[in-house]
Structure formats: C-alpha cells, structure tokens
Amino acid sequence: MAAAHVPRKALSHLRFRFLLTLIAFSLNFALSDQPRAADPSTASLRETGGWIVLPDRVQPRLAPSLGAQKASCFLSYKAIIPAKRLEAGPHSSRQDWLTWEHDATRLYLPIAQAVPEVLPQAPGNLPIGHERVDLEHPLPLCYEPRDLRPIDRKWIYVKDREIKMRSEAVRYAHRMFEAAKAEKIHLRVVSGYRPAKTQRWLYLRKVEEDGLGQKIVAKPGHSEHQLGTAMDVSGLDPKTVLKPLFAETKEGVWVRENATRYGFRLTYTPENSGKTHYIPEPWHLRYIGMALEKDR
Ligand SMILES: [Zn+2]
C-alpha cells in the first residue's frame, strides 16, 4: 500500500496539518468586517485602558484607514499602547480603531491587531460556571487553570493526541461519554483547553491568510477554550466533525438532549447567536457544573 511508504515524519506532519485545520475550524468567530476608514470628526472616542499589540511587528497608521500612510515607528508583540477606542458608530465595534499619541503624533491601529490588557484579579482558578469570557470580556492572556488533566485517550478523536480540561470537567466528561456509549452513541473530543499563546498563533496565521476581516479564528483571550472547561465533541464520521451538520447526527442530538445531565451546556446555540455574536456551534460544550445546572 502506498501509505506504507510514506515516511513517518511526513505522516506526522500531515497529522499536524489536519489537527491545525480542526483547531482552526473549532474556534469561535471573533471578528467580522474588515476595518474601514473611520471619520475622526464623527466617531466617538471611548476611554479604555492599555491594549496589548498582537503581531510580532506592526507599523501603526497616521490615520484610521488601512490605506493611510504608515508611521515611522514599529510596535511589537506585548507592547502596551495607552489607546482610546475610536468608535465609528453603533454596531461597528469590530471595525473600530485604536488611537493614541506618541511624540506629539496621533497614531492609529486596527482593533483587530490588539487585545485589551486584562490583569489577573487573583491567583488560582476561576470559579467554574461563573467565568465570563466573550467578545467584550477577555481573559488575561496569562490565565491558565491549575487543575488541568488529560482526557482519557480512548475518547480523543485524533489518536495519540493529548487534550486537557479542568479536573472536574474531565470527570463529568468521562461519565457522559460512558453513558452515551451505553446507548451506542460514540462521542469523541476534538479540542479542549487551549492557552492564549496557541490562540494568538492561530489567530495571526489566519489573519495573514485571510486579512484582518477574517471571521473564523477568535483573538487570544476571547475563547472559552482558555477556561479549560470547554470542549468540542464529534461522532466518528469525519464528514460531520465541527460542521453544522453535526447537529443532525445521532451524536449531535444526544448531546443536545443529555449534556446538561453531566453539567455541560451548548454555549453557542441558534437561539443565542444574536446575543453572543457567535455562529451556532452544536459541537461546543462548556462545563458549567452540576450544582449550577440543577438550579437552571
Ligand atoms: Zn469550541
């Protein structure tokens, strides 16, 4: 068989590419339209704190437009800019620009190239079920739960891959998968905890490919996967992995009907997509905790 002659290294490279594709597709939408030129005379300025620059190296503009002249200075990753947010109007937040003054020159950067600086409030883990992360409320980039542990490999979609979640979430995920299996529903995990540095790398790669207006990959700090309580699940059929079609498979239906019994909730549904600004993701589950789930 031809596959037998593919060098092991090439195979693992292929597998890596496949994984990246899976991960990229499992990320929430964070951006929409390409940043357009904003008119500073009509736009409002919102006072904000510092913003962390995301690209390795970027030149700010001298006006709020991608076509505007570039400034002579460079910014690099992790530079903190004391910027205000130039809001072009209602419902335009994804096209906003950041602006600040440097050496008596006003500079501009698309909001797509930075995230708000969020300082950790207290060391340790965030309380499960009460964590807040969405388009307007990012996590500190350094946040990493301290009780991460691997999901049993027999439940992992891509063999030999290690996927972690927080300990309690893993415990209930295992129970859920066993219960599903008893009903001949074979669930697998495609993605779990993801640190902000992985998210940043995926984000920048996507931006490089598709431009600042890309709609697929979330900014670092803005993904529920960083909480360590979210996972993407699938059945065994590759055609429905991370696809809207998953909702119609027997595994998708089972998850929708039974996940709450194990403390998991579908966070991005057709009902709440107007509010969350995320597309429905019938494969994305977040562990809320058994206690909270019983209350609701
Ligand atoms: Zn997800």
| DSSP per residue, the chain | -GGGGS-HHHHHHHHHHHHHHHHHHTSPP---SPPPP--TTTSEEE----EEE-SSEEPPBSSSSTTSPBPS--EETT-EE-PEEEE-STT-GGG-EEEEEETTEEEEEEGGGEEE----SSSSPPPTT----SSS-PPPTT---S-EEEPPGGGBSSTT---EEEHHHHHHHHHHHHHHHHTT---EEEE----HHHHHHHHHHHHHHH-TT--SSPPTT--GGGGT-EEEEE-S-GGGTTSGGGGGSHHHHHHHHHGGGGTEEE-S-TTTHHHH-S---TTEEEE--HHHHHH-
- C-alpha of residue 290 to centroid of ligand 1, in Å: 20
- C-alpha of residue 296 to centroid of ligand 1, in Å: 22
- C-alpha of residue 96 to centroid of ligand 1, in Å: 26
In sequence order, what are the residues at sequence separation of 6 or more whose Cβ sits closer than 8 angstroms to the Cβ of residue 165? 148, 149, 151, 173, 192, 193, 228, 229, 230, 231, 287
- C-alpha of residue 266 to centroid of ligand 1, in Å: 10
* Pairwise CA distance, residues 127 & 121, whole Å: 12
- C-alpha of residue 205 to centroid of ligand 1, in Å: 18
- C-alpha of residue 225 to centroid of ligand 1, in Å: 6
For residue 38, the model assigns a pLDDT of 64
Confidence category of residue 32, pLDDT binned at 50, 70, 90: very low
- C-alpha of residue 232 to centroid of ligand 1, in Å: 5
- C-alpha of residue 106 to centroid of ligand 1, in Å: 38
Distance of alpha carbon 209 from the chain centroid: 17
pLDDT at 146 over 60: yes
Domain spans, the chain: 44-116, 122-295
- C-alpha of residue 112 to centroid of ligand 1, in Å: 21
* Pairwise CA distance, residues 265 & 293, whole Å: 8
For residue 39, the model assigns a pLDDT of 63
- Please give the average per-residue pLDDT across 98-106, as a whole number: 93
- Please give the average per-residue pLDDT across 117-140, as a whole number: 87
1.10.8.60, 3.30.1380.10, 3.30.70.260, 3.40.50.920: CATH of 122-295? 3.30.1380.10
For residue 96, the model assigns a pLDDT of 84
- C-alpha of residue 15 to centroid of ligand 1, in Å: 20
- C-alpha of residue 234 to centroid of ligand 1, in Å: 11
Question: What are the residues whose beta carbon lies below 5 Å from ligand 1 (ion)?
Answer: 26, 232, 284
- C-alpha of residue 190 to centroid of ligand 1, in Å: 9
User: 44-116 adopts what CATH topology?
Assistant: SH3 type barrels. (2.30.30)
- Tell me: the pLDDT tens digits for 221-252? 999 999 999 999 999 999 999 999 999 999 99
* Pairwise CA distance, residues 134 & 224, whole Å: 8
- Residue predicted with more confidence, 278 or 84: 84
For residue 15, the model assigns a pLDDT of 58
- Tell me: the pLDDT tens digits for 152-204? 999 999 988 999 999 999 999 999 999 999 999 999 999 999 999 999 999 99
For residue 41, the model assigns a pLDDT of 59
Judged by phi (left if over 0) then psi (alpha if -120 to 50, else beta), residue 142 lies in alpha
- C-alpha of residue 7 to centroid of ligand 1, in Å: 32
- C-alpha of residue 80 to centroid of ligand 1, in Å: 29
- C-alpha of residue 93 to centroid of ligand 1, in Å: 23
**71 closest CA partner among 63, 59, 79:** 59
